[in-house]
Amino acid sequence: AQRVTQPEKLLSVFKGAPVELKCNYSYSGSPELFWYVQYSRQRLQLLLRHISRESIKGFTADLNKGETSFHLKKPFAQEEDSAMYYCALRAAGGYQKVTFGTGTKLQVIP
Amino acid sequence: GAGVSQTPSNKVTEKGKYVELRCDPISGHTALYWYRQSLGQGPEFLIYFQGTGAADDSGLPNDRFFAVRPEGSVSTLKIQRTERGDSAVYLCASSLTWTSTDTQYFGPGTRLTVL
């Protein structure tokens, strides 16, 4: 079975402060990890995926297989980063369903 | 171009009634997914279509839930004998194919309330 844990329901940071949204997963095989974001009154959208090793809107995430983590980080939070963030996992190889975490609401205080 | 659309945006029904939720995927997308999101939770997978066929329906909670995609485009999620516990936002997503590199694009969701 695969499981995604996001321990924080709410994370409040001041503008300009570093951000780290935690994500831990449980899966015995080779996973693919994703971060999705939902801004207020907008639909859920993909932010980044670990296989791309990219930085989107200043956010990065590194897959740590030893700690089974995929934390989302940004060095300097912006007000427009306020949103709901979901970590998600899919087993690698072919079609596999996506399992989402419960989400963390990021609130950036001006 | 147009994104994934879902209708209705809100549906209020009474316990025991039948409801249908519609999803229009992005044109040309062969893969279509349904998720359910209960309050305070992340999206929960329900069913996946590749073309017209349901390739994975392991997430459907019970036999009251059924989904179709007869022409490989529009999909309808059908819920019989609705229960209060079915109240949730039902999300639809589509992707070009099922491969892992293809991004899933989500619709705005249908908020179902069962009284």
Q: Which residues on B lie below 8 Å from A88 (Cβ)?
A: 42
- Which of A2 and A96 is assigned the larger pLDDT? A2
Instruction: Tell me what pLDDT residue A91 has.
Output: 81
Model confidence at A31, pLDDT cuts 50, 70, 90, reads confident
Flag whether pLDDT at A29 surpasses 70: yes
Q: Which residues on B lie below 8 Å from A45 (Cβ)?
A: 105-106
B100 and A93: CB-CB below 8 Å?
A: yes
What's chain B's average pLDDT?
94
- Which of B90 and A66 is assigned the larger pLDDT? B90
Model confidence at B71, pLDDT cuts 50, 70, 90, reads very high
B43 and A4: CB-CB below 8 Å?
A: no
Q: Which residues on B lie below 8 Å from A90 (Cβ)?
A: 100
Model confidence at B99, pLDDT cuts 50, 70, 90, reads confident
Cα–Cα dist B16/B13, whole Å: 9
Mean per-residue pLDDT for B49-69? 93
How near does any CA of chain B get to the CA of A102, in Å?
Answer: 4
A100 and B48: CB-CB below 8 Å?
A: no
Which member of A51, A98, A101 has the closest CB to residue B45? A98
Q: Which residues on B lie below 8 Å from A44 (Cβ)?
A: 43, 91, 106
